[in-house]
Structure 1
């Protein structure tokens, strides 16, 4: 893609996406550490619709390949999904990566905190998956939810985020059962601590990290493995742990 003429509106990409001979993969949170690594991993082989909010980072993403289609939008506005993502001509895989991870103990978290985290981490991927369900059914596609080590455990100082990832696990399982007749594949990829800015919390809670953090590229390679699994199987859960535990 000519980065001098980068378009950031999804409607600007529809003509090219309608004629591409590549599978189309939608990646939310594509400008974050894991999201960008996923785009880098898939850029040579897929048409990647890369969602983010930061214009400069999206333009940078366009340099990664000829079929990177950056889309600038705020996922919090789920009412706009039908008139944006719903216009995509085909979707072979949806990678729900975008999330926020503020740390709060339950007695420090307000109702507003709970609402924001649950909306962005659970409601948004649920709504986007529902919006793209016709395209995913047509392609017998794959949906991946980026979970977390917090999907099955918790911390007294990170309970809001952990609760959202528990809910995301339940969402993924429920969607997989619901769409089994359509032959969709639905997976949760749940990494432990990944070396991204997300874990650079600026708060007063104690933090113990493992000696070696997981690389974003490792998570990206795992997601490729999930979406490229042979047709006779589906990989429903992958838990990615650091070599040393915190």
Structure 2
């Protein structure tokens, strides 16, 4: 997949099927050719139909073979947004090794492998890697051990990548809790009543991502922290 138009920038957004990833894709659609990463064909298809020129990019990110095959067709990439991830709650006593493995596989190992596979394409474009992290990547709370540990690891990965690849920009985004389907599932597991006003709107976080991506080249937005105001 070769970008021959020097004006058109290409962005790959993982987790674009729904929630924050879909809103990030909408935010970048105005000035980027989009590759929509995700597994749900119907949701990706609907989003692709909404965003002219966008393409579905259905890849199992936990399969190194699938990632290698899919990325081999991309020789230039301006923006890579890692928005896919999972969250399983439980105390250290309650969470078994399987939960920790699943969480790190989705939130860390898949991110690392996809980034590694796309480094030549990112270098060719002088590209930008955006890591959707979390407030849990800055502090750990009871019951959030495996998730927070994966996000701390993701932050360390971004810090290392930023220093190792000076030709790229690497931004870690640490939003507070966001009004998404995943959040509804988390609140249900907590046994609480869902109130969307308590959380950030996905479009707000997506706009912050868009602002980072569009920051002029003389600046490097390394870290963004967002907290909900309840308004």
The reply to whether residue 166 of structure 1 matches residue 152 of structure 2 is yes
State the superposition RMSD in angstroms.
1.9
- Aligned partners of 1:197, 1:66: CA distance in 2, in Å? 25
Contact 1:26 1:48 in 2 (8 A): yes
- The alignment of Structure 1 onto Structure 2 pairs a total of residues equal to 228
| TM superposition shift of 1:205 | 6.6
Contact 2:179 2:196 in 1 (8 A): no
What TM-score results when the alignment is normalised by the length of structure 1? 0.87
What TM-score results when the alignment is normalised by the length of structure 2? 0.92
- With 83-92 and 128-137 compared, the bigger mean Cα shift is at 83-92
Give the direction of change, closer, same or farther, for the CA distance of 1:205–1:152 in structure 2 (3 Å limit): farther
Aligned to 1:3: none
Aligned to 1:37: 23
Give the direction of change, closer, same or farther, for the CA distance of 1:230–1:24 in structure 2 (3 Å limit): same
Q: What does the per-residue CA deviation read over 1:90-145, in whole Å, with 9 as the maximum and x for residues that have no partner?
A: 10010011000111211111111111100110011111111100011111110010
- Aligned partners of 1:210, 1:81: CA distance in 2, in Å? 35
Contact 1:192 1:240 in 2 (8 A): yes
Question: Which consecutive unaligned segments of at least 5 residues does structure 2 have?
Answer: none
Contact 1:29 1:97 in 2 (8 A): yes
Question: Which consecutive unaligned segments of at least 5 residues does structure 1 have?
Answer: 1-13
- Aligned partners of 1:54, 1:210: CA distance in 2, in Å? 24
| TM superposition shift of 1:73 | 2.1
